[in-house]
């Protein structure tokens, strides 16, 4: 088995990565070292990033001794860990194995997947979880996007939301969803809310000043007008292939706090077109608002969750004016209206596939009968997350994420697993629980 394992990849102090034979790549599940099973290895997906892990030392497997070894230097020079941040549509199976030097600051808000090198290629411990190619980098011609973006801004002259999507999302952050908006295809983002009623530890749009980690993007600073939202949404739903418009983006707070505006916008959109899907990505905190949006014409919802266990949920989301039970109520309301419901489920190897978490997820799905699990690699420093969640170490028994996917399929045969909000074509009958 060791033979097939790719070599360990490390980084020098300048971020140059290289393989280090004879050591083989190693993964981590919570804090347990794991030799990646060959079935868990894929070539590094195009569009992924490779990161050096500063002040962290890689752990490799030495086939000569059958032991794991912490690697601190190579030919007298210090070396550090390296990991992959996989492209959209891929699910992490094992995270990078490394030790941290004392009192290090948390790593930035990315996921850190186990990385190796073999026969001239990088390999990662991951799996493609969604065949939809809407965010595959090879589908983005950056020059064409630049021109299209300015044309779109011209087309929606005076529309502040269009200007935000072009100047902020496309030009500043390269957001794949906003790129698809200017390319008039698939899913279009509709950020609306500057505020949020939660304070997630790993919030990518707002971090407390005192926090040692930086938010990956700034939040929208205004609530767009109903007409600004409707103008963009109607155009996109009418013209795009497989059209979806989605409230609730990484560059905003919680859209349900802008529920009045969104309700009027959905009504206006549906007065003009019945085409496509109107989706809401949310923390699910306001079931009454969700009911109003269902009546207005909302088609699908995606509720984000780091855990189906109340304590771990509250420890991560730090909700201000709601609790876990509001999430459940929201998913019940979506079921009541026969709409599509997904959970945006943060994947953390060793926790997601642990007995306690699986039992809780089992009850949640049995109770709320959701249609889909969208897996999201949790973008956070793993060691820092384990500390903040006060996870028991040594950890609970876990079954491995490939087995976890098989378990989901076996226990909930109707459930769709994937990464993206489905279009109308993707919401097949067989994904609705009987
Ligand atoms: S719910 Fe979303 S916007 Fe609000 S704190 Fe959490 S990640 Fe940030």
Question: Over the stretch 88-102, which tens digit does the pLDDT of each residue have?
Answer: 999 999 999 999 988
Over the stretch 138-190, which tens digit does the pLDDT of each residue have? 999 999 999 999 999 999 999 999 999 999 999 999 999 999 999 999 999 99
| E strand segments, 348-415 | 372-377
Nearest to 193 by CA among 229, 221, 165, 230: 221
pLDDT of residue 103: 87
Distance CA 13, CA 55 (A): 9
| CB 196 near ligand 1, within 6 Å | yes
Q: At what angle do helices 226-239 and 259-272 cross, to 10 degrees?
A: 40
pLDDT of residue 209: 87
Confidence of residue 396 (pLDDT cuts 50, 70, 90): confident
User: How far away, in angstroms, is 252 Cα from ligand 1 center?
Assistant: 8
Cα-based torsion angle of the residue sequence 87, 88, 94, 96 in order, rounded to the nearest 10 degrees:
40
CB count in 10 Å sphere of residue 390: 10
| CB 305 near ligand 1, within 6 Å | no
Q: Tell me the mean pLDDT in the region 332-357.
A: 97
User: How far away, in angstroms, is 319 Cα from ligand 1 center?
Assistant: 9
| CB 253 near ligand 1, within 6 Å | yes
Over the stretch 250-283, which tens digit does the pLDDT of each residue have? 999 999 999 999 999 999 999 999 999 999 999 9
Residue with tokens 């891929």: 90
With a pLDDT cut of 70, the percent of the chain lying above it is: 99
Q: Tell me the mean pLDDT in the region 37-50.
A: 96
Residue 253 near residue 195, CB atoms below 8 Å: yes
Within 13 Å and on the Cβ side, how many CA atoms surround 270? 16
Residue 395 has pLDDT above 90, yes or no: no
Residue 433 has pLDDT above 90, yes or no: no
Q: Alpha carbon 340 to chain centroid distance?
A: 19
Distance CA 204, CA 109 (A): 7
pLDDT of residue 154: 97
Distance CA 264, CA 128 (A): 38
Cα-based torsion angle of the residue sequence 26, 100, 349, 419 in order, rounded to the nearest 10 degrees:
-100
Confidence of residue 429 (pLDDT cuts 50, 70, 90): confident
| E strand segments, 146-225 | 187-190
| Contacts of 130 by beta carbon, 8 Å cutoff, 6+ apart | 89, 418, 419, 420
Ordered domains of the chain (ranges, CATH): 2-128 (no CATH), 186-431 (3.20.20.70)
Nearest to 155 by CA among 119, 123, 182: 182
Q: Tell me the mean pLDDT in the region 53-72.
A: 97
| CB 254 near ligand 1, within 6 Å | yes
User: How far away, in angstroms, is 380 Cα from ligand 1 center?
Assistant: 14
User: How far away, in angstroms, is 375 Cα from ligand 1 center?
Assistant: 17
Span of 2-6, 108-112, 411-415, 427-431 with lowest mean pLDDT: 2-6
User: How far away, in angstroms, is 352 Cα from ligand 1 center?
Assistant: 20
Ligand 1 atom with the shortest distance to the CA of 197: 4
User: How far away, in angstroms, is 155 Cα from ligand 1 center?
Assistant: 31
CA-proximal residue: ligand 1, atom 6 (nearest): 200
* Mutational test site, ligand 1, from 193, 317, 385, max ligand atoms within 8 Å of CB: 317
Q: Tell me the mean pLDDT in the region 307-325.
A: 97
| Contacts of 419 by beta carbon, 8 Å cutoff, 6+ apart | 88, 89, 90, 91, 129, 130, 132, 374, 375, 376
| CB 198 near ligand 1, within 6 Å | yes
Q: Is 90 left (phi over 0), alpha (psi -120 to 50) or beta?
A: beta
Q: Alpha carbon 40 to chain centroid distance?
A: 20
CA-proximal residue: ligand 1, atom 7 (nearest): 203
Confidence of residue 285 (pLDDT cuts 50, 70, 90): very high
H/E element, 392: none
Task: Give the chain's mean pLDDT.
Answer: 96
Ligand 1 atom with the shortest distance to the CA of 196: 4
With a pLDDT cut of 90, the percent of the chain lying above it is: 93
pTM of the full structure:
0.96
DSSP code at position 324: H
In this structure, are strands 277-282 and 300-305 parallel, antiparallel, or unpaired?
A: parallel
User: How far away, in angstroms, is 138 Cα from ligand 1 center?
Assistant: 30
Residue 396: both structure tokens together: 């609970």
Structural Rg of the chain based on CA atoms:
22
pLDDT of residue 3: 57
State yes or no: cis peptide before 394, omega within 30 of 0: yes
pLDDT of residue 128: 98
Residue 222 has pLDDT above 90, yes or no: yes
State yes or no: cis peptide before 286, omega within 30 of 0: no
User: How far away, in angstroms, is 297 Cα from ligand 1 center?
Assistant: 24
Confidence of residue 1 (pLDDT cuts 50, 70, 90): very low
Residue 63 has pLDDT above 90, yes or no: yes
| CB 199 near ligand 1, within 6 Å | yes
* SS3 category, 366: helix
């Amino acid at each position: 088995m060791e033979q097939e394992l790719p070599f360990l990849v490390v980084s020098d102090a300048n971020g140059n990565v290289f393989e280090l034979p004879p050591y083989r790549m190693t993964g981590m599940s919570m804090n347990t070292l794991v030799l990646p099973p060959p079935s868990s290895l894929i070539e590094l997906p195009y569009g992924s990033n490779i990161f050096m892990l500063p002040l962290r030392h890689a752990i490799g497997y030495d086939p000569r001794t059958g032991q794991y070894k912490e690697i601190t230097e190579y030919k007298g020079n210090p070396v550090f860990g390296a990991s992959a941040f996989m492209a959209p549509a891929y699910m992490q199976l094992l995270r990078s194995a490394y030790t941290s030097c004392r009192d290090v600051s948390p790593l930035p808000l990315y996921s850190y997947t186990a990385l190796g090198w073999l026969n001239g290629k990088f390999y990662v411990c991951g799996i493609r979880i969604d065949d939809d190619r809407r965010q595959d980098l090879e589908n983005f011609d950056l020059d064409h996007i630049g021109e299209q973006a300015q044309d779109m801004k011209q087309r929606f002259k005076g529309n502040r939301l269009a200007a935000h999507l072009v100047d902020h999302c496309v030009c500043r952050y390269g957001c794949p969803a906003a790129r698809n908006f200017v390319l008039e295809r698939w899913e279009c983002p509709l950020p609306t809310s500057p505020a949020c009623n939660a304070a997630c530890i790993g919030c990518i749009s707002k971090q407390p000043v005192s926090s040692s980690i930086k938010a990956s993007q700034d939040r929208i600073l205004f609530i767009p007008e109903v007409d600004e939202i409707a103008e963009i949404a109607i155009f996109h739903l009418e013209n795009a292939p497989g059209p979806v418009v989605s409230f609730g983006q990484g560059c905003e707070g919680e859209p349900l706090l802008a529920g009045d505006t969104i309700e009027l916008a959905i009504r206006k959109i549906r007065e003009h077109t019945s085409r496509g899907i109107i989706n809401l990505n949310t923390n699910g905190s306001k079931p009454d608002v969700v009911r109003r949006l269902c009546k207005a014409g909302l088609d699908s919802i995606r509720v984000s969750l780091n855990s189906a266990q109340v304590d771990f949920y509250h420890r991560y989301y730090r909700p201000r004016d709601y609790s876990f039970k509001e999430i459940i109520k929201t998913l019940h309301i979506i079921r009541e209206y026969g709409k599509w419901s997904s959970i945006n489920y943060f994947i953390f190897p060793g926790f997601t596939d642990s007995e306690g978490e699986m039992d809780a997820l089992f009850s949640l799905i049995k109770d709320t009968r959701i249609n889909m699990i969208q897996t999201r690699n949790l973008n956070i420093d793993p060691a820092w997350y384990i500390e903040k969640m006060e996870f028991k170490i040594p950890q609970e028994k876990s079954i491995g994420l490939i087995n976890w996917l098989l378990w989901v399929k076996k226990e909930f045969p109707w459930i769709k697993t994937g990464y993206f909000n489905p279009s109308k074509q993707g919401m097949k009958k067989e994904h609705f629980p009987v």
